[in-house]
């Protein structure tokens, strides 16, 4: 080996360069500065002691600054190694149960996913003090895990993970005169009375229609899907068929497309198409991007025109199914549910197969899904005198 090669090897050894000395230089517990060479000598001594111990089947301890091995010392017999000698522990990943990760999530999100209502409804329930976690009244922003006990209105709830929640969606053709509420103090008919029954879940309405509006109404068991589809940031089209009373001029249509200032802010139609009509009544199809209360009617009212009939025919990419007559519901196919999930920015989730019990219950509900019409009183029969 030439002298030049030997010099190159020497300069490439750890601790031989000035930069290596600066990087390796430091202080031991004793406070003395230690150079890179001292570190190299110490590491070599530790390695030699470990090799010798391996041959004897013993475990050697690292040498101190003095270079003496502590193996076999009576002072160290039976003592546990110092904490500094223990290997560094890394944080464990979240526990897994099945295919889902078990970790803390926002309370309102978990409640909505479990089918107890939309996320907005759950936020209102939490603010009202109706939700408790481990016996204490919950606050907005609280997070819960799989071991937390949650109750709604003092009723214990079984929280579900994302993979455990079935994403079912049904389409309902709402007739006029029904309310979009679960219970009405005046005893009027509600849309929920006609829906199929669920065990351990509940239907959540995706949007609302007022009592005098008919047409397409979607219901789901997934609160997160309902929340995403209803949120204004999603910008989902809603198409309505409107019958207007009065003469509709071009300037009226232009005003409503450009935008009108209502009591609760600006509003506009993104599209208006005329569909004919007779006399003073004209039919139009209008498209709107949000679902504020009576927004379609108020836009026409701003032009001095009265809506005499209003029916929703489309929500996003879902059109009202002709198979569903007024007061009837139709279960949506998996492909249609996937389209809605994509529209909401959610991953596709396949609904689990129905149990035999659920199949029987759903088949019975399908047979009874037609609206109950009032029957005329049968004529009273009078006996003829003999």
pLDDT band at 113 (very low <50, low <70, confident <90, very high): confident
Q: Could you report the per-residue pLDDT of 204-228, keeping only the tens digit for each?
A: 899 899 999 999 999 998 888 888 8
Better pLDDT: 232 or 305? 305
Considering only CA atoms, which of 214, 196, 224 is closest in space to residue 330? 196
pTM of the predicted protein model: 0.58
Q: What is the mean pLDDT of the chain?
A: 73
Instruction: Please answer whether residues 277 and 304 qualify as being in contact, where contact means their C-beta atoms are separated by less than 8 angstroms.
Output: no
Better pLDDT: 161 or 23? 161
* 3-class secondary-structure state, position 254: helix
pLDDT band at 356 (very low <50, low <70, confident <90, very high): low
Instruction: Please answer whether residues 282 and 252 qualify as being in contact, where contact means their C-beta atoms are separated by less than 8 angstroms.
Output: no
Instruction: Please answer whether residues 362 and 196 qualify as being in contact, where contact means their C-beta atoms are separated by less than 8 angstroms.
Output: yes
What does the pLDDT read at residue 374? Answer: 33
Q: Residue ranges of the alpha helices (H) in the chain?
A: 3-12, 18-24, 36-56, 107-113, 119-127, 223-230, 250-258, 295-301, 334-344, 356-367
pLDDT band at 103 (very low <50, low <70, confident <90, very high): low
Percent of the chain having pLDDT more than 90? Answer: 34
Q: Could you report the per-residue pLDDT of 238-282, keeping only the tens digit for each?
A: 999 999 998 999 999 999 999 999 999 999 999 999 998 777 899
Domains of the chain: 99-161 (3.10.290.10), 169-353+360-367 (3.30.2350.10)
- Average pLDDT (112-129) is 84
Encoded tokens for 63: 């040498």
What does the pLDDT read at residue 108? Answer: 85
Better pLDDT: 120 or 372? 120
Q: Could you report the per-residue pLDDT of 39-89, keeping only the tens digit for each?
A: 444 444 455 555 555 545 444 444 444 444 444 444 444 444 444 444 443
Q: What positions carry a catalytic annotation? A: 210
- C-alpha Rg value of the chain to the nearest Å: 37
Most confident of 102-111, 149-158, 179-188, 257-266: 257-266
What does the pLDDT read at residue 162? Answer: 54
Calpha distance 230→223 (Å, rounded): 11
pLDDT band at 121 (very low <50, low <70, confident <90, very high): confident
Q: Could you report the per-residue pLDDT of 146-164, keeping only the tens digit for each?
A: 788 899 998 888 776 555 5
What does the pLDDT read at residue 213? Answer: 96
What does the pLDDT read at residue 26? Answer: 41
């Amino acid at each position: 080996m030439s002298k030049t090669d030997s010099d190159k090897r020497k300069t490439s050894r750890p601790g031989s360069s000035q930069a290596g000395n600066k990087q390796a230089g430091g202080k031991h517990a004793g406070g003395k500065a230690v150079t890179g060479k001292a570190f190299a000598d110490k590491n070599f001594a530790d390695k030699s002691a470990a090799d010798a111990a391996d041959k004897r089947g013993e475990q050697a301890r690292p040498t101190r600054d003095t270079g003496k091995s502590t193996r076999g010392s009576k002072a160290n017999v039976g003592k546990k190694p110092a904490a500094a000698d223990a290997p560094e522990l890394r944080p464990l990943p979240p526990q897994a149960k099945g295919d889902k990760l078990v970790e803390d999530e926002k309370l309102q999100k978990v409640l909505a996913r479990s089918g107890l209502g939309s996320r907005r409804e759950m936020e209102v329930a939490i603010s009202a003090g109706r939700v408790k976690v481990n016996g204490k009244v919950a606050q907005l922003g609280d997070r819960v895990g799989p071991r937390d006990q949650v109750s709604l209105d003092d009723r214990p709830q079984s929280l579900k993970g994302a993979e455990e929640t079935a994403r079912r969606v049904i389409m309902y053709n709402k007739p006029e005169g029904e309310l979009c509420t679960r219970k009405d103090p005046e005893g009027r008919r509600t849309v929920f009375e006609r829906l199929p029954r669920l065990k351990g879940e509940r239907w959540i309405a995706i949007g609302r229609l007022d009592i005098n509006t008919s047409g397409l109404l979607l219901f789901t068991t997934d609160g997160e899907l309902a929340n995403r589809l209803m949120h204004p940031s999603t910008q989902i089209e809603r198409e309505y068929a409107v019958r207007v009373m009065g003469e509709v001029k071009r300037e009226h249509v232009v005003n409503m497309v450009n935008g009108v200032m209502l009591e609760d802010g600006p509003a506009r139609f993104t599209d208006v198409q005329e569909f004919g009509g007779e006399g003073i009544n004209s039919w139009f199809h209008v498209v709107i991007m949000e679902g504020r209360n009576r927004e379609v009617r108020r836009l026409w009212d701003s032009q001095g025109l009265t809506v005499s009939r209003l029916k929703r025919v489309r929500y996003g990419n879902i059109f009202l199914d002709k198979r569903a007559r007024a007061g009837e519901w139709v279960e949506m196919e998996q492909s249609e549910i996937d389209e809605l999930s994509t529209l909401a920015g959610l991953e596709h989730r396949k609904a689990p197969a129905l149990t035999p019990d659920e199949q029987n219950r759903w088949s019975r509900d399908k047979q009874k899904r037609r609206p109950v019409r009032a029957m005329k009183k049968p004529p009273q029969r009078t006996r003829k005198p003999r």
